[in-house]
Structure 1
């Protein structure tokens, strides 16, 4: 049997999280780096937004090309993972279990999230704006050359809360649903959305499938993440921000996650930011204090508490499932 039993799945999830906490992301030969290069090469071959025709037929061709590229880059690796686990299961169930746990480790980014964002808060605490700008530019797409301390803290808080879902909880959710093939599918789909899911002339049509599929895959985990943030912070305020602010955000999943997270921490996020030289006024998120270094640390702590909440609930579900199974 390729799918793990529920106790084995929970044990593999715990193993994957602990591996991530212990090892962090690979310093060399990171699988997502190689995947990104492959995705870029394939997009260069298939994405041609500047060809003369701008008709509906041309737009449809670009969408279909993007969907084909998405299927090649996501469904093929997921199918290969399914096949490898089937082979491992035939050799020994423990080998298949190890592959499941390893796939989750490769998909998670809990430790790397803290390693990339905490130094921004440390630089802001030292009033070292040049270092904070450089560190922030590594993790966000907005311009940081002339950003002040408030803008940098805001960017770090938003990145921590949103990537808590994308790099941790979405991956964990899909792993618990379908093991290694499902978590590989989610993580690769999420990566393609980050690469192609822009509303620019180059990506609007070609990246349409990547953006929409990622929205669909994140529909449930994003709301579970938002609920978890709310329960572990200032609950009533977080729920109110989620209810009143999320719908105004351009992303149907980032909105609930960041609004609830900002409300839980008690910080005002959103607002204006500069992307590729163009000023963009974004809806408000959260409420309360102006972003500062302490809020960045608070957002990271909220993400980590949420991770242990999910693992704790998963582990508690094992004896409960056994009890219900015995009773039936």
Structure 2
């Protein structure tokens, strides 16, 4: 039950306070990552520099998290409720998830899109996607936002929960720092193609299992048969090994057509279609439905954790 209480503390804090706007630890970590890049890239070959930077950025904090957790959980019985640990772990998990932030960004797109304020909707979606948004029409904006909700639901919520469940505080710290480095360094451009390789591959590895658990959860929380069908046929067509299952399953669960070509950094990229062949076109309501799917999936995870806490 300690595990369940920790997750509830994190979700309640996130629901009440959302993402901290000042003094967020990840902001400081981002500055450290920039410093490591600046120091190591001129001194080491690209791939080697990236591996060393990844280790130096993650290992000390993961070890510190392990030590911190050991002070709270040492000598506690598995069947007892460790309230001090549940509170402290819940605070750490709260800093690692982005539930309300995800929903807030989604609303910032769906609400102006609903009333036809295309300029505001384009601006809002540009805050959460990397594709060029200036030329997007209503459906293009809705597709981009819906895809972002589905994919970031896995990254910002369920993967963090998974690594907390299996690895406690050290697990979720390791995951969130890795995911942050992937977001900073995991680009296939001249600057990061070599240096960011290790961070991108490590993040892919950490997301391998939770991404598929997220896809499964989306399926059972929506149109199940359609989601599994899309997952089976479309997941491997996507360039990302972890985003593919999540987005294909999510599109099927919502019975919506996603994917398709898009412009990234001025270059057109062909992307496969996601969702059922005759799925509904994406619109403002689709974004809200994606948020609802994430919320139902989170409720399912919470229910399973509660049952697990009662069982042990």
TM-score by length of structure 2 reads: 0.93
Say whether 1:252 aligns with 2:246.
Answer: no
Aligned residue number for residue 209 of structure 1: 198
Aligned residue number for residue 79 of structure 2: none
Aligned residue number for residue 251 of structure 2: 262
Say whether 1:183 aligns with 2:177.
Answer: no
Say whether 1:45 aligns with 2:29.
Answer: no
Aligned residue number for residue 91 of structure 2: 102
After the TM superposition, which of the residue ranges 214-223 and 8-17 deviates more from structure 2? 8-17
Secondary structure in structure 2 of the residue aligned to 1:268: strand
Say whether 1:36 aligns with 2:25.
Answer: no
Say whether 1:320 aligns with 2:304.
Answer: no
Determine if contact 2:2/2:309 at 8 Å carries over to the other structure: no
Q: CA deviation at 1:10?
A: 1.9
Aligned residue number for residue 209 of structure 2: 220
Give the whole-Å Cα distance in 2 for the aligned partners of 1:84 and 1:8: 16
Determine if contact 1:13/1:176 at 8 Å carries over to the other structure: no
- What RMSD, in angstroms, separates the aligned Cα atoms of the two structures? 1.8
Aligned residue number for residue 8 of structure 1: 2
Aligned residue number for residue 231 of structure 1: 220
Give the whole-Å Cα distance in 1 for the aligned partners of 2:10 and 2:240: 29
Give the whole-Å Cα distance in 2 for the aligned partners of 1:244 and 1:212: 24
Say whether 1:299 aligns with 2:290.
Answer: yes
Secondary structure in structure 2 of the residue aligned to 1:218: helix
Say whether 1:85 aligns with 2:79.
Answer: no
- List runs of 5+ in structure 2 lacking aligned partners: 77-81
Q: CA deviation at 1:188?
A: 0.8
Aligned residue number for residue 11 of structure 2: 17
Change (3 A) 1:96 1:45: same
Give the length in aligned residue pairs.
305
- List runs of 5+ in structure 1 lacking aligned partners: 1-6, 52-57, 322-328
Q: CA deviation at 1:84?
A: 2.5
TM-score by length of structure 1 reads: 0.89
Give the whole-Å Cα distance in 1 for the aligned partners of 2:26 and 2:143: 27
Aligned residue number for residue 70 of structure 1: 54
After the TM superposition, which of the residue ranges 282-291 and 223-232 deviates more from structure 2? 282-291
Give the whole-Å Cα distance in 2 for the aligned partners of 1:96 and 1:315: 17
Say whether 1:290 aligns with 2:281.
Answer: yes
Secondary structure in structure 2 of the residue aligned to 1:282: coil
